């Protein structure tokens, strides 16, 4: 009995050793997950590496802005950017950085805020006491909510410090430098009022969310609008594995040998096959987006908008579908069995999705992984979908990303045809 068990185990191990695709699925894929996700989530789980870049445009040029920058930097959680090419940032420049995807977060300190805070001490009427949080529409709620809370707390501390004895002493020194004498009794009274304000007013400054100027969006995307594009893109690329499996099946049945007898170029034969699977992708997207637009709201979820230029979704979908199916052709060209194609396909598709921002937003990844993500078609597909759905972009605005996706498709198709075994 024991010999039979050992013999059976030896036989199965031998079969498994002859199947690299299965071995890849068992070992390489989880290894890829561990390596990529460990780096991608580094900023989430390590407090020393959680710094988020925050642009600060201080149009007030008073004590509050100085204190706010100091508070942001002292936490260790923010990398504060106040200049661009040696020039102090104003609101238009900061919003342009957001609109062009160079930055994700900007804090605007409007002119007159320090004066408004001083009015709290003197009892004079002053302007609004508020700062503006301007963020990329694609910023996830999981990041935005704690960010808003942290900024609110730091803004209150900055306001208190700018009104405290240190801030008042600086005000007195500024007056003295201009030849204006401030009685000590008056200075002490201001400090007393500042202490009362700190004790009794926990909201000296309000934090208001705003969208960056130049984007055709009026409100921040909801959870459905945030999730549908990413998971749709994630699902689209699995057709590569299905197409590769179909190719191996037709090779087994001898279909390719019969097709080669037809007076049609080989690339045209494969292009026709890819076209059929592209059509499947288009139906797939139509169903998934229809779920977001019509079904989920009826189940109690937020309603999904298709943006101001929904025709852009079609452009992105066609480009992504061509990439995914050309990848399937390349997988079939390099793999020797359907099982190998499946294992290799899972590794390629999942790794591309991870570094492409589908599973973890790219802006929380370390810089080297963000740069590596540029070689992933998922990166460009996700950015293009987000531009249409969350940023109000039209077809012209997404053409550069679509062109890069078509470049991926052409490269995968060319390599696949070059390496393909037709017999």
Q: Would you say the C-alpha torsion 351, 361, 222, 306 has a positive or negative sign?
A: negative
Do residues 405 and 322 touch, judged by C-beta distance below 8 A? yes
Non-local (6+) Cβ contacts of 138 within 8 A are: 221, 226, 361, 386, 390, 391
pLDDT tens by residue, 50-101: 567 888 888 888 778 888 888 888 877 778 888 787 788 888 888 888 887 8
CA–CA distance, 152 with 149 (Å, rounded to integer): 5
Q: Is the pTM of this model over 0.75?
A: no
Beta bridge partners of 105: 135
Query: For residue 199, what pLDDT is reported?
Result: 47
* Number of residues that make up the chain: 423
Q: 422 vs 135, which has greater pLDDT?
A: 135
* pLDDT winner (highest mean) among 149-158, 265-274, 346-355: 346-355
CA–CA distance, 139 with 105 (Å, rounded to integer): 9
Question: β-strand 83-84 against 130-135: which pairing, if any?
Answer: unpaired
**pLDDT range class, residue 176, cuts 50, 70, 90:** low
Residue 162 has pLDDT above 90, yes or no: no
Looking at domain 51-210, which of 3.40.1710, 1.10.3470, 3.30.70, 1.10.357 is its CATH number? 3.40.1710
The domain locations on the chain are: 19-42+220-419, 51-210
CA–CA distance, 408 with 320 (Å, rounded to integer): 9
* HSE-CB for 185 with a 13 A CA cutoff: 0
Q: How far is CA 242 from CA 52, 264, 277, in A?
A: 39, 24, 9
pLDDT tens by residue, 179-229: 666 666 666 666 566 555 554 455 778 888 888 876 766 566 777 777 788
pLDDT tens by residue, 325-375: 999 999 988 888 888 888 888 888 888 988 888 887 777 777 788 888 899
Poorest-pLDDT segment among 30-39, 135-144, 383-392: 30-39
Residue 396 has pLDDT above 50, yes or no: yes
**Token digits of residue 76:** 């260790």
**pLDDT range class, residue 47, cuts 50, 70, 90:** very low
Non-local (6+) Cβ contacts of 109 within 8 A are: 56, 57, 58, 59, 60, 64, 65, 68, 131
Q: Tell me how many degrees the CA angle 178-181-187 measures, rounded to the nearest 5.
A: 115
Q: Where do we find the tokens 């990041």?
A: 143
């Amino acid at each position: 009995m024991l010999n039979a068990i050992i013999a059976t185990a030896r036989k199965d191990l031998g079969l498994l050793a002859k199947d690299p695709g299965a071995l890849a699925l068992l070992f390489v894929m989880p290894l890829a997950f561990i390596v990529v996700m460990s780096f991608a989530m580094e900023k989430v789980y390590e407090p020393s590496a959680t710094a988020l870049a925050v642009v600060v445009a201080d149009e007030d040029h008073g004590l509050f802005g100085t204190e706010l920058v100091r508070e942001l930097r002292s936490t260790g959680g923010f990398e504060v950017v106040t200049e661009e090419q040696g020039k102090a940032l104003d609101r238009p420049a900061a919003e342009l950085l957001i609109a062009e995807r160079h930055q994700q977060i900007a804090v605007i300190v409007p002119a007159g805020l320090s004066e408004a805070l001083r009015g709290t001490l003197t009892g004079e009427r002053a302007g609004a006491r508020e700062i503006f949080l301007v963020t990329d529409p694609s910023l996830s709620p999981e990041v935005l909510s704690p960010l808003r809370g942290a900024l609110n707390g730091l803004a209150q501390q900055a306001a208190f410090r700018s009104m405290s004895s240190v801030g008042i002493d600086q005000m007195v020194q500024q007056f003295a430098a201009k030849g204006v004498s401030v009685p000590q009794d008056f200075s002490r009274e201001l400090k007393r009022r500042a202490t009362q304000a700190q004790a009794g007013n926990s909201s000296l400054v309000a934090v208001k969310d705003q969208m960056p100027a130049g984007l055709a969006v009026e409100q921040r995307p909801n959870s459905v609008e945030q999730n549908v594009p990413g998971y749709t893109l994630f699902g689209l690329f699995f057709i590569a594995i299905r197409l590769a499996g179909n190719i191996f099946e037709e090779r087994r049945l001898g279909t390719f040998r019969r097709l080669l007898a037809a007076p049609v170029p080989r690339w045209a034969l494969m292009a026709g096959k890819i076209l059929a699977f592209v059509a499947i992708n288009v139906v797939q997207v139509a169903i998934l987006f229809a779920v977001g637009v019509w079904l989920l709201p009826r189940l109690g979820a937020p309603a999904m908008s298709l943006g101001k230029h929904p025709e852009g979704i079609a452009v992105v979908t066609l480009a992504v579908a061509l990439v995914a199916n050309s990848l399937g052709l390349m997988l079939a060209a390099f793999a020797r069995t359907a099982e190998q194609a499946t294992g290799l396909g899972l590794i390629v598709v999942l790794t591309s999705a991870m570094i492409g921002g589908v599973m973890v937003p790219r802006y929380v990844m370390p810089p080297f992984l963000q740069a590596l993500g540029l070689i992933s078609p998922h990166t460009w597909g996700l950015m293009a979908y987000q531009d249409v759905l969350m940023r109000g972009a039209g077809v012209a605005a997404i053409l550069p990303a679509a062109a890069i996706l078509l470049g991926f498709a052409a490269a995968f198709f060319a390599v696949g045809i070059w390496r393909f075994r037709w017999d």
